[in-house]
């Protein structure tokens, strides 16, 4: 179980290594304000570019009085650390994977459930149809402001050994998973040995045969260079778990009311920007890994849906999940 205490300890450690970020919203000479943003992804990743777009818009609208500085590629720590750093006001804005939020913010679980979304188009219809607003409001009780939800493509399996066609093919494989109770449980149900590990450590673990593979979207598969170690990509599309853009409530409340409105509007308007960047980068990533020799295969989708069904049923019984699940499925 990933506990709040574990997350808190990680955040305290991260704070100790970033002494210059000890208070919310950095004041600039002349009365300006500098917002600090973090992301574990590389500079040209669509979420990083979308938040940079936000910063450019805010600077333009305020004649440079409100600015944003992005620390990408995990410069300020891992996602689990970033969540509490934002809560405490050590950083102002962070982009995190929704799976890392499930324990502290249960409504995010509905977005991560296996096969709750049928496709990227289904996900975008549901999020734009009010599901995103419902989930974002859920952050208000825990010192955070939910700014936007970025979709993150379909998560699929990749490994160093063989094509995966049916759930039984996963039995005994040691796979990297994100630090998410839901995904750890799902991997165990599918017969794998799930190993929570940071994305940055996974390549070497596959190279040294400590891991057999992982699961992720194809853009991360490419940008992390995991395709150089894992040559089998199996299109399970078992989750479309999105990313969430969060802001420290402490930082948010230190802004002028009109600036708060600007930040919220810029974040919401960054969603179509991110999606356009995502679609283009996903296509480019797929072409690049195919050219590198990665072998793609389809899976028995119905068999995977059936294998994941018990987990979905259990999560639907949690408070607040069933109504949200039904709303999402209504957009299918």
3-state DSSP of the chain: CCCHHHHHHHHHHHHHHCHHHCCCCEECCCCCEEEEEECCCCCCCHHHHHHHHHHHHHHHHCCCCEEEEEECCCCCCCHHHHHHHHHCCCCCEEEEEHHHHCCCCHHHHHHHCCCCCCCHHHHHHHHHHHHHHHHHHCCHHHCEEEEEEECCCCEEEEECCCCCCCHHHHCCCEEEECCCHHHHHHHHHCCCEEEECCHHHHHHHHHCCCCCEEEECHHHHHHCCHHHCCCEEEEEEEECCCEEEEEEHHHHHHCCHHHHHHHHHHHHHHHHHHHHHHHHHHHHHHHHHHHCCCEEEECCHHHHHHHHHHHHHHHHCCCCHHHHHHHHHHCC
- Residue pair 84/295 in contact by the 8 Å Cβ criterion: no
pTM of the complete model: 0.91
Same domain as 262, residue 159: no
Classify residue 259: in a domain, yes or no: yes
Pick from 13-27, 243-257, 282-296: least confident:
13-27
CA distance readout (Å), 210 to 195, 204, 205, 215: 10, 8, 5, 15
| pLDDT-derived band at 14, boundaries 50, 70, 90 | very low
Same domain as 308, residue 258: no
- Amino acid 94: pLDDT: 98
Classify residue 324: in a domain, yes or no: no
Average pLDDT (173-178) is 96
pLDDT value at 281 more than 50:
yes
pLDDT value at 15 more than 70:
no
- Amino acid 27: pLDDT: 81
Average pLDDT (38-53) is 96
**Closest Cα partner for 231 from 289, 160, 169?**
160
| pLDDT-derived band at 24, boundaries 50, 70, 90 | low
Same domain as 229, residue 177: yes
Same domain as 116, residue 225: no
Same domain as 99, residue 235: no
pLDDT value at 315 more than 60:
yes
Average pLDDT (192-199) is 93
pLDDT value at 8 more than 90:
no
User: Could you read off the pLDDT of 132-155 as tens digits, one per residue?
Assistant: 999 999 998 889 999 999 999 999
Domain count, the chain: 2
Query: How crowded is the C-beta side of 105, counted as CA atoms within 13 Å?
Result: 27
Average pLDDT (191-215) is 95
Classify residue 272: in a domain, yes or no: yes
Classify residue 16: in a domain, yes or no: yes
CA distance 243 to 138: 15
User: Could you read off the pLDDT of 81-104 as tens digits, one per residue?
Assistant: 899 999 999 999 999 999 999 999
Report the mean per-residue pLDDT for the chain: 92
Classify residue 118: in a domain, yes or no: yes
Classify residue 306: in a domain, yes or no: yes
Range of the domain at 231: 155-240+285-318
CATH number of the domain that residue 311 is part of:
3.40.190.170
User: Could you read off the pLDDT of 282-296 as tens digits, one per residue?
Assistant: 999 999 999 999 999
- Amino acid 11: pLDDT: 42
pLDDT value at 12 more than 70:
no
% pLDDT > 90, the chain: 86
CA distance 183 to 278: 23
- Amino acid 43: pLDDT: 96
């Amino acid at each position: 179980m990933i506990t709040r205490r574990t997350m808190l300890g990680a955040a305290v450690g991260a704070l100790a290594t970033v002494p210059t970020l000890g208070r919310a919203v950095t004041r600039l000479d002349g009365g300006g304000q500098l917002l600090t943003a973090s992301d574990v992804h590389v500079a040209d990743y669509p979420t990083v570019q979308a938040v940079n777009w936000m910063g450019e818009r805010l600077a333009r609208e305020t004649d440079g009085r409100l600015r944003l500085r992005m620390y990408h590629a995990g410069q300020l720590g891992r996602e689990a650390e970033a969540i509490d750093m934002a809560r405490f006001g050590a950083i102002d804005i962070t982009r995190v994977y929704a799976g890392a939020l499930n324990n502290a913010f249960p409504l995010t679980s509905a977005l991560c459930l296996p096969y709750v979304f049928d496709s990227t188009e289904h996900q975008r219809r549901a999020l734009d149809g009010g599901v995103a607003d419902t989930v974002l409001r859920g952050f208000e009780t825990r010192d955070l402001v939910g700014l936007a939800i970025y979709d993150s493509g379909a998560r699929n399996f990749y490994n160093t050994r063989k094509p995966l066609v049916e759930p039984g093919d996963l039995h005994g494989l040691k796979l990297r998973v994100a630090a998410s109770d839901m995904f750890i449980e799902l991997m165990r149900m599918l017969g794998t040995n799930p190993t929570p590990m940071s994305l940055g450590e996974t390549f070497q673990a596959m190279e040294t045969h400590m891991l057999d593979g992982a699961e992720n979207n194809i853009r991360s598969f490419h940008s992390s260079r995991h395709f150089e170690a894992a040559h089998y990509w199996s299109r399970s599309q078992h989750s479309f778990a999105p990313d969430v853009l969060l802001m420290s409530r402490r930082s948010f409340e230190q802004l002028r009311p009109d600036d708060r409105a600007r930040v919220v509007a810029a974040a919401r308007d960054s969603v179509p920007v991110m999606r356009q960047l995502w679609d283009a980068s996903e296509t480019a990533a797929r072409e690049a890994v195919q050219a590198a020799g990665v072998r793609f295969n389809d899976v028995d989708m119905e068999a995977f849906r059936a294998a994941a069904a018990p987990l979905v049923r259990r999560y639907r019984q949690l408070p607040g999940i069933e109504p949200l699940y039904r709303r999402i499925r209504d957009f299918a």
